[in-house]
């Protein structure tokens, strides 16, 4: 899996811009236009913040999978070991395919939000942006089935999708935008519900994978040495205290799942002309949790080097 490069300060700047747009729009005739611009900016921040969280989920899954293979290796006949490895590799390839599909899905969603903001900002009835927006909607429809049918933690993603929204459309000054929302808002709601379900499934599996890793660390570093006949390391007590007090850091992916749910709620509010600074703030709280976890992880790695 590729290691994404991103600028945390740039993401935080996007979040600030979104908040300022909503606040400014509340007091001007530009309120409706600014809502769409704020939503597009927040969607960009969401897309960039979620990407490294997806990478972290794969790393945890791959680590857990390798541990399971190593534990099973001695019990397997030598003739079956390569078969087990190939199956494990195939399972990880399938997970990579899911994550790749989610990344493409996120990118198309962001492109659609940008197109929607452009439609809101123009009065031109023939700007050409309608066709562009429809192209993005069509692309989402092509990506949807593979993600929906994918299985994570024993459940298909489509089985975890929340019920659809029942929109109350509020007319915008642009007839083109009004038509676009009535035509495609239910589809975008469906895709946001799909993304939310997928990220929540990944967050649940991520917590499980980290739990397996933590359990093995305790067994190998604390339990087995204590039960053995050899002498214990001088730092055994300190290690035991550290592992017992440590908590599993599942913040980033769970925050991504929460942010996806908030993004979907914000989209419904956007269509219904009730996107408020409070809703943007709630979404940004989740985005901030993702970024803070990433920053803490970077700091921890630098300390260890």
- Tens digit of each residue's pLDDT (9 = 90 or more) over 188-219: 999 999 999 999 999 888 888 878 778 888 88
Residue 58 structure tokens: 């794969």
- Domain for residue 214, yes or no? no
Dist. CA 93–CA 81, nearest whole Å: 18
Tens of pLDDT, residue by residue, the chain (305 residues): 444 444 555 555 555 555 555 545 444 445 677 778 878 888 888 888 888 888 888 888 888 888 888 888 888 888 899 999 999 899 889 999 999 999 999 999 989 988 888 888 776 555 688 899 999 999 999 999 999 999 998 899 999 999 998 888 887 777 888 888 999 999 999 999 999 999 999 988 888 887 877 888 888 888 988 988 888 888 898 888 877 766 555 667 788 888 888 889 889 988 888 877 777 777 777 777 766 765 665 555 444 44
290 is in which domain, residue-wise?
8-202+248-304
- Domain for residue 268, yes or no? yes
- Domain for residue 238, yes or no? no
User: What distance lies between CA 80 and its chain's CA centroid?
Assistant: 37
- Domain for residue 44, yes or no? yes
- Domain for residue 196, yes or no? yes
Dist. CA 184–CA 30, nearest whole Å: 23
For 212-232, letters b (16+ CB in 10 Å) and e give: beeebebeebbeebeeeeeee
- Domain for residue 218, yes or no? no
* DSSP string for residues in 113-152: HHHHHHHHH---TT-SHHHHHHHHHHHHHHHHHHHHH-EE
- Domain for residue 211, yes or no? no
- Domain for residue 209, yes or no? no
- How many domains in the chain? 1
Answer whether 196's CB lies under 8 Å from 105's CB: no
Residue 235 structure tokens: 């730092």
Answer whether 210's CB lies under 8 Å from 248's CB: yes
Pairing of strands 155-156, 151-152: antiparallel
Quote the pLDDT of residue 143: 96
């Amino acid at each position: 899996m590729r290691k994404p490069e991103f600028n945390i300060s740039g993401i935080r700047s996007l979040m600030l811009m979104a908040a300022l747009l909503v606040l400014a729009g509340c007091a001007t005739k530009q309120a409706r236009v600014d809502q769409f611009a704020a939503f597009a900016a927040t969607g960009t921040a969401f897309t960039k913040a979620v990407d490294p969280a997806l990478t972290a989920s794969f790393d945890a899954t791959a680590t857990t999978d390798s541990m399971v293979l190593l534990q099973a290796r001695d019990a397997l006949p030598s003739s079956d070991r390569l078969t087990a490895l190939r199956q494990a590799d195939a399972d990880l390839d399938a997970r990579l395919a899911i994550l790749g599909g989610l990344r493409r899905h996120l990118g198309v969603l962001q492109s659609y939000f940008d197109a929607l903001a452009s439609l809101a900002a123009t009065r031109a009835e023939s700007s050409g942006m309608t066709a562009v927006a429809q192209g993005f909607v069509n692309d989402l429809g092509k990506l949807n089935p593979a993600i929906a049918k994918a299985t994570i933690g024993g459940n298909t993603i489509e089985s975890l999708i929340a019920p659809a929204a029942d929109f109350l459309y509020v007319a915008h000054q642009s007839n083109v935008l009004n038509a676009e929302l009535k035509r495609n808002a239910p589809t975008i709601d469906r895709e946001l519900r799909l993304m939310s379900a997928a990220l929540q499934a990944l967050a649940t599996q991520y917590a499980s994978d980290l739990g397996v890793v933590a359990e093995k660390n305790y067994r190998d570093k604390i339990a087995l040495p204590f039960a053995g006949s050899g002498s214990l390391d001088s730092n055994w007590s300190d290690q035991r205290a550290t592992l017992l007090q440590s908590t599993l850091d599942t913040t980033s992916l769970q925050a991504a799942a929460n942010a996806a749910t908030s993004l979907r709620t914000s989209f419904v509010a956007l269509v219904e002309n009730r996107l408020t600074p409070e809703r943007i703030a709630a979404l940004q709280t989740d985005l901030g949790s993702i970024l803070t976890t990433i920053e803490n992880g970077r700091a921890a790695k630098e300390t260890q080097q």
